[in-house]
Amino acid sequence: MYFSDEASHTSPIDTVSAIGDGQEPKWSTGNKVPRWTSRPQKDKPQQVEARFHETKKMRNVGVYWMQDREDVRFPKE
C-alpha cells in the first residue's frame, strides 16, 4: 500500500509495517494481527510516517489505539 513507512521507534516485538497493512483486529482487544508500538519509549514524542509513490487523495484514516496493563497507555492528546 505504501512506498515506505518508518517510525521514530519500534518495539522489537512489533513492526512498523502494521500501520498500513490493512489488517484490523476482530475485537478491540485483538492481538492476532501485527501491530506497531513504540514501547518502551516513555514520555518521548513518537511519530510514524508513510510515503506513497505519488500524491494521493485520502478520504479517511483509521487508528486503533491500544492500552495494556503494563506500560502502554492511550495518548494524552
Q: What is the pLDDT of residues 1-59, one digit of tens each?
A: 667 889 999 989 899 988 888 888 887 666 788 888 888 887 888 888 888 889 888 89
According to the model, what pLDDT value does residue 24 have?
Answer: 82
Contact 14, 36 (CB under 8 A): yes
The CA distance from 67 to 75, in Å, is: 9
**What pTM did the predictor assign?**
0.71
* pLDDT surpassing 80 at residue 70: no
List the chain domain ranges: 1-77
Task: Give strand pairing partners of 23.
Answer: none
For residues 48-75, give the mean pLDDT: 82
The residues facing 36 across adjacent strands are none
